[in-house]
Amino acid sequence: MSNKSYEPIAPHSVAFLGLGVMGYPMAGHLARAGHRVTVYNRTQAKAAQWVAEYGGRSVGTPKEAADGADIVFCCVGNDDDLRSVVLGNDGALAGMKSGAIFVDHTTASAQVARELDSEARQRGLHFIDAPVSGGNLGAINGMLTVMCGGDDKAFATIQPVAMAFSKAVTLLGESGAGQLAKMVNQIAIAGLVQGLAEAIAFGDKAGLDMKAVLGVIGKGAAQSWQMDNRGPTMIDGKFDFGFAVDWMRKDLGLVLDEAKRNGSRLPVTALVDQFYADIQAMGGNRWDTSSLIRRLR
């Protein structure tokens, strides 16, 4: 866990559903910030491990976790996983008290966000779609960027609480806007990482000292977070620094589906998605996204 400092706010009773590589440290920051945290995870041993580390309590269903909570946070895998913890007799909505807020950090479709927002409203509840950027290290260090869609009053309640694991939590529009903004984020990253991979591969073929080259061009217009943080590791052929290729392909699938609906033309994104499919075929499913360079060597 990082040495993050927490702004003093009134403690809340919160739940966290999903203790994966992102959710585990995010829930930990909530506990460290002084909130009363109840956790649920499909693998109960992971929930027990979290409680041993951070305190709080674990329960057997999302409904039990949500019982009495002011805010229910969630970070699971995809649309179907999300529905499974939100809906049904044991789902979170069935246990939430009137006026409580469900905050979903899953990277999912804009449609499922709108669907669950509608379900929540019918029950006198609130739903905020709030996908994150920053990867596992951002979660561990409490420095995620959170893109939100939903009601402004509900957002005003959750924003200071979510700052426990974030450096920025921003409302971008109505329900679904957070998921759409995350898609914009992934489109921008996909093309950028491919460009950086091609640049490094080209420089290698030209016989240049690419770490020295990146040190120079990183002070000019070519500079980016990817260049600063992944350029040197791409040169070294190390690809175990966070966001996995499998996850990126899931996200780009959401992007390309949405593009079909809204008529966007994304030729570079579609191409890079196929390049990531090549990486999967090479066995790089869990390599980080900078592994695109492996296609070029």
Active site residues: 182
Q: Torsion angle, CA of 128/129/135/137, rounded to 10 degrees?
A: 10
- The per-residue DSSP string of 9-62 comes to ----EEEEE--STTHHHHHHHHHHTT-EEEEE-SSHHHHHHHHHHH-SEE-SSH
Location of structure tokens 């196929």: 274
Q: Compute the distance between CA of residue 291 and CA of residue 181 in angstroms, rounded to an integer.
A: 24
How many Cβ atoms are within 10 Å of 236's Cβ, its own excluded?
Answer: 9
Determine contact, residues 138/166, Cβ cutoff 8 Å. no
H/E element, 111: helix 110-122
